[in-house]
Structure 1
């Protein structure tokens, strides 16, 4: 075996060793990696690592780490501008720790205010009670989860008039695409109808009507082009914001397992 072959063999062996080390990390070690990734402001990478530790099954054993992981994940969604997932993580975090507070030194005021609003809303709905002191005994977190995955079809993204935006939950943007496409399509159809109305009984235009018809033809083509551009823009935008899986949260009483301890379970529907 020559030197080049030995080098190739070493590279392959090293890759296997690195991969094996990555997969042999304990959940606590993975959480430490996720925490460092978050602190280096790699929110996309931190979101992926934290989600793997929390969903569909909680892999962390420490209550404090579980709560901190949900806090970091909520912060990731805040900076990634995913309002839906941010609200879900706040709900889970407050269900597990109703008295939890965010450090104003690390997080922006808008993030903390959103958290406090969620806490007040959940308290008003009697889902949590932040005023009750926790028991002196060890906190027991029910980890029972009802998980189902619902895959969303991508076909509605191809439908014009803002359908993809409405399905993605972007109602304002959907309304803008709907009104814009209706306006430009109406311009196209209106110009075409006006042109046909200028024809005489012999289906031809008079001299004056021919000049007007040429101007209306330009309006017709402009309307058609603008409509087509908005349709393409709407389809591209719908796919950019498309999430293939639908996930919702609801708080339900924790099911009775082998232990007699009762608590709250966060049931997750994908």
Structure 2
């Protein structure tokens, strides 16, 4: 026979005062009346008041819903309706998988009944006992693979294409600057030398010194452009990634989208040693 002292029931109500944020007044009144009925062990009245609130959307995720399910399940059990209690406790456990009934407030038969149902749901994989129902997302370390699809011919393009393809933006910027300066110098000096030529296509003796200086600048510009180009091609091919880049970053992931942990199995093998004497023990992961 089950017995339940009045004093612990008073303690139950005192330790879990329901809040009223976002809950209609009629529901708050029902919960208050159910609390009073639960204190005096009027379990049929508790069932009558709380049963309509089990699936009410206004209570979803709120502490009041947990209290409604806890009181209702306990009232069913203490009234002898164990099947009804099992259904209510199942819903309570699914929504609050880490909840344990206080053994100081409820009789041991009730807490054992609740714990057995909770263990059944854990064994069936219905709930994760470590999940906090208040946490809908978790910060996870994400491994990201970035593949490189740049064709080899692209590394022979000028202006640091190989460096930018390798994600070496700083080095690519330097190459672009050097090649741009070299090309600009080459074009400008060539244009200036062409302007010094007469109708016959030759530079006059008076402009020969200026033409020589411009020619030296043209050679310097061409050397800078060509050297930067050769460096860009060689460096790009030499530092071309052999495989995808692997990067790690923290990201907030929804609980429902987190993949399950990999199934890691291990085995222990005992057999004769290869040396001819003794026993060999092998552990395989």
Same fold per superposition (TM over 0.5):
no
- The TM-score range, normalised by the shorter chain, is 0.3 to 0.5
Q: TM-score by structure 2 length?
A: 0.38
Would you tell me which structure has more helix in proportion to its own residues?
Answer: 1
Would you tell me which structure has more strand in proportion to its own residues?
Answer: 2
